[in-house]
Every structure is written in C-alpha cells, then in structure tokens.
C-alpha cells in the first residue's frame, strides 16, 4: 500500500519507520527538513508538501501536535485536500478536539475523501516497538481498509464510534493517565516523607490492585530522575484542556481533570513544559520540599 505520512516528530518518526519495515511504500513530509531526511535515508520518498504527499498516496496519515496544526496541514494552502483524489483516505492520528476532527471530516466529505480520527496511546516507547493502542472513529468499511496499517503501528486498534469518537476515547485515556501519575506522586511522596525507600514501596504495590501500566512505566523514570520526554507536559496539558472544553459543552464537571490541568499549567510556567509528563510529580515535590528518588529515605530536599 502506498502511504503518505505527515508529521515526523517524537511519535510520527518511529511510526513511519515501522510502516517502512513492514514493506509499505512511504512518502513523508514535515516542516522540519531534517526529519524528512532521516526517513529518506531509511527508504522513504520525500514529499514537497502535504498536498504533494496526498496526491501520490492512497492513504495519508497525519500525526501533528494539535488541532490548529491539523487544520493547517489538511485545509490550508498546499494542504492534504488540495492534493487528495476522490476515494483517497485521510487518517488523522493526532490527539485533538473531537470538534476539530468533525470539522476536518466534513471538509473531506465535500471533496470525496474518506476520514478517520485515530489517536494513539503509549508514548514514544510503544511507537518505537509498534505496540500503540489505537482508538478510531469513522466508518467500519474505512477502518477495515486501514486496519493492516494500524496492526503494524499498534498492538490494538478499536473502532469506538463515528468520526470524533476516537478523540473522545483518547481524551478519556489522557484523563486516566494524568490523574494516575499525580496519584502516584502523592503516594510515593508519602512513603518518602515517612522514611521509606520509594523504590521499595513501588515494588511492594505494583503487583497489587494499585499496579498499572502507568505506574510501571512512570515510577522508574521518577525514581531515576529521568524526565526525558516520551510525552511532553505541554502536550498533555493540551489534551486535558480539550477534555475540559468538551466536558463544558456537555455541562459535565471533571474536578480531578481540572486540578491536574492546573498543575500542568503551573509546570509549563516554570519552564518544564518539554519534560516528560512523569514530571507532574515535581509540582507535588516542590510543595513538599522532597524528591522521590531511588534509595532515598526520610525525605530529600528538592531543588
């Protein structure tokens, strides 16, 4: 299958590599030329623009930071819809507002282009090893056509409903992840302040009901003080903002989501927006004047 891929950042680059490894003919485009060059060296073809990629591909995938980026890449000058032919498929794997997904889908329909919103969960590690969780919204028959591509990039792919449903499911996922990380931070801070080694407490609880994929992935990063971004705080803040806006439109209160979103905003204002979202715990550490650190007991002053 000839596939176009637009957006070669932390997630898009390894996802593209997995499509190449699976034998798909790949055309790529990114506003950062160096990212395109990396994929060309791996065997991809280079597109001159989003429009050029879409004109030459049966399926075009976009993986971009936020809704305005998707709108620019699809609806703007030299965008996907300037090049895509009727019957082509656009799969937006970005995490954006469901309302933006529906707007883009309506524009695609007017041009005879099929659309799926299919955001992912798993961060950079799962993008690299091809085990992302993919949550899609759109028509069953279009999902079925694209499923072989999803199976290369992810370990699970679920059609959750019509267009926009994929991003609703992703927002639900992001709420659970953010609140999980914040709760982990509070729990391990309690252990540290009580004089316990947080690593020992982590190992004690991870096999019980408190254990989770989030805990297993993020606690070791915190304990090692490794906040290299797999998924950036500023992007998680964007997701929670979109969740709160969607909730507001439905007159739905999400108090825990709102609280963690404020924590993320504070971290961004302290210059930590490009750290991994495991650094949510540093907001709590600042208040406690204590770090969650491997081998530390009795509490250790944070910087």
Pair 191, 172: CB distance under 8 Å: no
60 and 122 in a common domain: yes
Query: Residue ranges of the alpha helices (H) in 194-279?
Result: 198-205, 213-223, 233-249, 255-269
Specify the CATH number for the domain of residue 112: 3.40.50.720
Confidence of residue 1 (pLDDT cuts 50, 70, 90): confident
Confidence of residue 48 (pLDDT cuts 50, 70, 90): very high
Task: Give a yes or no: residue 120 inside a domain.
Answer: yes
Task: Give a yes or no: residue 303 inside a domain.
Answer: no
262 and 120 in a common domain: no
Task: Give a yes or no: residue 302 inside a domain.
Answer: no
For 177-210, how does the pLDDT look when each residue is reduced to its tens digit (9 = 90+)?
999 999 999 999 999 999 999 999 999 999 999 9
Residue 102 backbone phi and psi in degrees, to 5? -70, -35
Specify the CATH number for the domain of residue 202: 1.10.1040.10
Domain boundary among 128, 161, 194: 161
What pLDDT, on a 0 to 100 scale, did the predictor assign at position 303? 46
Q: What is the mean pLDDT of residues 160-165?
A: 98
Pair 134, 154: CB distance under 8 Å: yes
For 118-140, how does the pLDDT look when each residue is reduced to its tens digit (9 = 90+)?
999 998 999 999 999 999 999 99
Task: Give a yes or no: residue 300 inside a domain.
Answer: no
153 and 172 in a common domain: no
Helix axes 165-193, 213-223, angle to 10 degrees: 50
Task: Give a yes or no: residue 153 inside a domain.
Answer: yes
239 and 119 in a common domain: no
149 and 46 in a common domain: yes
Confidence of residue 230 (pLDDT cuts 50, 70, 90): confident
Task: Give a yes or no: residue 226 inside a domain.
Answer: yes
C-alpha separations of 268 from 102, 122, 125, 204, 283 in Å: 29, 22, 23, 32, 10
Q: Rounded to an integer, what distance in angstroms lies between the CA atom of residue 132 and that of residue 29?
A: 22
Task: Give a yes or no: residue 298 inside a domain.
Answer: no
For 265-290, how does the pLDDT look when each residue is reduced to its tens digit (9 = 90+)?
999 999 999 999 999 999 999 999 99
Pair 218, 228: CB distance under 8 Å: no
Task: Give a yes or no: residue 152 inside a domain.
Answer: yes
Domain boundary among 105, 131, 161: 161
Domain boundary among 161, 184, 206: 161
20 and 152 in a common domain: yes
Q: Is 193 a catalytic residue?
A: no
Asked whether residue 168 carries a pLDDT value surpassing 70, the answer given is yes
Environment class of 294 (CB within 10 Å of its CB; exposed 0-12, middle 13-18, buried 19+): middle
Q: Which of 13, 103, 126, 170 is catalytic?
A: 170
Number of domains into which the chain is organized: 2
Tell me which residue range forms the domain holding 14. 2-161
């Amino acid at each position: 299958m000839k596939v176009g891929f637009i957006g070669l950042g932390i997630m898009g680059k390894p996802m593209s590599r997995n499509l190449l490894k699976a034998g798909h003919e790949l055309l790529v485009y990114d506003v950062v030329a160096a990212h395109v060059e990396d994929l060309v060296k791996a065997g991809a073809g280079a597109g001159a623009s989003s429009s050029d990629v879409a004109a030459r591909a049966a399926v075009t995938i976009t993986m971009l930071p936020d809704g305005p980026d998707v709108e620019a890449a699809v609806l703007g000058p030299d965008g996907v819809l300037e090049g895509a032919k009727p019957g082509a498929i656009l799969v937006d794997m970005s995490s954006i507002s469901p309302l933006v997904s529906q707007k883009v889908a309506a524009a695609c329909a007017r041009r005879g282009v099929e659309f799926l919103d299919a955001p992912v969960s798993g961060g950079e590690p799962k993008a690299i090893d091809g085990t992302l969780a993919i949550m899609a919204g759109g028509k069953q028959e279009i999902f079925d056509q694209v499923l072989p591509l999803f199976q290369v990039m992810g370990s699970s792919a679920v059609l959750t409903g019509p267009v926009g449903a994929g991003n609703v499911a992703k927002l639900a996922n992001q709420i659970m992840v953010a609140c999980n990380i914040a709760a982990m931070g509070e729990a391990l801070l309690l252990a540290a302040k009580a004089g316990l080694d947080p690593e020992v407490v982590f190992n004690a609880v991870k096999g019980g009901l408190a254990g989770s994929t989030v805990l297993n992935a993020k606690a070791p990063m915190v304990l090692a003080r490794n906040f290299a971004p797999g998924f950036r705080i500023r992007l998680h803040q964007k997701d929670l903002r979109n969740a709160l806006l969607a909730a507001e439109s439905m007159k739905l209160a999400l108090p825990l989501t709102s609280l963690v979103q404020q924590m993320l905003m504070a971290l961004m204002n302290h210059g930590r927006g490009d750290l991994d979202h495991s650094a949510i715990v540093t907001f709590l550490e600042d208040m406690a004047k204590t770090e969650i650190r491997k081998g530390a007991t009795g509490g250790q002053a944070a910087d």
